[in-house]
Amino acid sequence: MIKKNLFLLFFLSIFVSQKVNSSDNDVYKKIDLFGEVLEKINKEYVDEINQSESMDSAINGLLQSLDPYSAYMSPEIYNEMQTETSGEFGGLGIEVGMESGVVKVISPIDDTPASKAGIKAGDYIVKIDGIQVQGKSLSEAVDLMRGPVDSGIELTVRRSGVKKALTFYIVRKIIQIKSVKVDLLEKNIGYIRLTSFNENSGKQIKDEIIKFENSKNIKSYILDLRNNPGGLLSQAIKISDFFLNDVEIVYKKSRKSYENRKWFAKKGDLTNGKTLLVLINYGSASASEIVAGALKDHKRAILLGENSYGKGSVQSIIPLKNDGAIRLTVAKYYLPSGKSISEVGVSPDIEISEGSDDFRIKTETDNQLNYAIKLLNG
């Protein structure tokens, strides 16, 4: 089978090269070279290789050379991803990406095993149950982290500012994603915690704002976007619109100019212009950064916390003939000011770092929230 594929690649390169320019010629020479390398590996490598896995790795390597977010998903991984988007799945409760060949935690999800164990945004996972992660694809690393519910896993991570590697033993659980949580703080602050942007987030937040406004006790709001890895662009636009009035929210720029688009807020602010403070940290990514950036650019909110992650790009899931898929970056986001979020993130107006290693969101150790409350109530 592999010889037949190699012959097809070789034949294609010869046939097409007669009708293309020199740049295309170079591409087909590389395809021919790839076929030659694969054949040499198959014949000469010290151990027998799994040809299917080798091809998957080659495809994944191509995609990951583009950026940290593009990746290949085998049919098994794609099927699991579709299960996750339904709102319930087994696992640890972390959003991860690749950076320089290492798995990086984008954000731990609230009230999940990873969050409770102490995993933080920005941690680099270097070992999974003693197995080195470097050199593996993101899909392979994610597969190692999966397992039966109630089974244990050991993660070894490297953390900025900490000399020694940290080890965490975590028990896998069914992950229930609850994207919106609210509370009344100090009898006059409407606290809204958003952990992800799913299809119901906008409606839930709108309903909660209306309840707060009807109580007539609310003087200000806190929108907590910390450790929110993002989600649906449509929901980020809806939620931004609740606090803005007839201004630009975000601009999406694609390779194809006809796909470029701007979104604007409608007239009317659900909170009637009440003071708004937004909490962000390194775990605030993608859709979180769109909301925080738009509110900051229009001076509608005060941002407090730490610089956000810097994921200002759009990924599309493109199904393949083998029932797998590729996740491919197809556009970038730009804030109303024209600034790109990618690799830079959104900076807070007031920088407050996490107070200690015992820091937990919305507990006594949450110095960022405590500072926000004092700021709002003087």
Which CATH number characterizes residue 133's domain? 2.30.42.10
Structural domain includes residue 191: yes
Retrieve residue 147's tokens.
């397992």
* 3-class SS of residue 78: helix
**Residues 226 and 274 grouped into a single domain:** yes
Biggest distance spanned by C-alpha atoms of the chain: 76
What is the DSSP-derived secondary structure letter of residue 363?
S
Mean pLDDT of 284-312: 97
- Is 160 tagged catalytic? no
Q: Choosing from 107, 115, 286, 308, which is the catalytic residue?
A: 286
How big is the chain, counted in residues?
Answer: 378
Contact partners, residue 252, CB within 8 Å, separation at least 6: 233, 259, 260, 261, 262, 263, 314, 331, 332, 333, 334
**Residues 163 and 145 grouped into a single domain:** yes
**Residues 139 and 22 grouped into a single domain:** no
In this predicted structure, the answer to whether residue 13 has a pLDDT above a threshold of 90 is: no
Structural domain includes residue 58: no
**Residues 313 and 284 grouped into a single domain:** yes
Measured at the CA of 201, the angle between CA 197 and CA 207, to 5 degrees, comes to 155
Q: Choosing from 297, 308, 313, 366, which is the catalytic residue?
A: 297
Q: Choosing from 120, 136, 296, 311, which is the catalytic residue?
A: 311
Which helix (H) or strand (E) covers residue 111, if one does? none
Retrieve residue 291's tokens.
């909301």
Structural domain includes residue 225: yes
Residue 247's alpha-carbon distances to 218, 223, 300, 360, in angstroms, are 25, 20, 11, 35
Structural domain includes residue 62: no
In this predicted structure, the answer to whether residue 84 has a pLDDT above a threshold of 60 is: no
- Is 297 tagged catalytic? yes
Least confident piece of the model among 43-57, 319-333, 334-348: 43-57
In this predicted structure, the answer to whether residue 11 has a pLDDT above a threshold of 60 is: no
**Residues 18 and 86 grouped into a single domain:** no
Structural domain includes residue 63: no
In this predicted structure, the answer to whether residue 131 has a pLDDT above a threshold of 80 is: yes
CA atoms within 13 A on the CB side of 124: 17
Structural domain includes residue 57: no
**Residues 167 and 88 grouped into a single domain:** yes
**Residues 323 and 191 grouped into a single domain:** yes
Least confident piece of the model among 85-89, 134-138, 371-375: 85-89
**Residues 111 and 132 grouped into a single domain:** yes
pLDDT value, residue 23: 65
Structural domain includes residue 65: no
Which residue in this structure is represented by tokens 């040809």?
51
Percentage of the chain lying above the pLDDT 90 cut: 58
CATH code where residue 362 lies: 3.90.226.10
- Is 56 tagged catalytic? no
Of 176, 207, 233, the last residue of a domain is 176
Mark residue 266 as left, alpha or beta (left: phi above 0; alpha: psi -120 to 50; beta: remaining): beta
Provide the domain count of the chain.
Answer: 3
pLDDT value, residue 10: 39
Structural domain including 350 reads 180-377
Could you give the CA distance from residue 378 to residue 376 in angstroms, rounded to a whole number? 6
Least confident piece of the model among 106-115, 302-311, 332-341: 106-115
Least confident piece of the model among 17-21, 279-283, 319-323: 17-21
Q: Residue 182: phi, psi to the nearest 5? A: -130, 160
**Residues 206 and 340 grouped into a single domain:** yes
User: What is the reported pTM?
Assistant: 0.78
- At 25-63, the pLDDT tens digits run 788 888 889 889 988 998 899 998 888 888 888 888 899
**Residues 372 and 289 grouped into a single domain:** yes
Mean pLDDT of 247-270: 94
In this predicted structure, the answer to whether residue 101 has a pLDDT above a threshold of 90 is: no
**Residues 332 and 187 grouped into a single domain:** yes
Mean pLDDT of 305-334: 92
**Residues 327 and 290 grouped into a single domain:** yes
142-171 burial code (b ≥16 CB/10 A, e <16): bbbbebeeeeebebbbbbeeeeeebebebe
pLDDT value, residue 248: 97
Structural domain includes residue 89: yes
- At 156-211, the pLDDT tens digits run 999 988 999 999 999 999 887 778 999 999 999 999 999 999 888 999 999 999 99
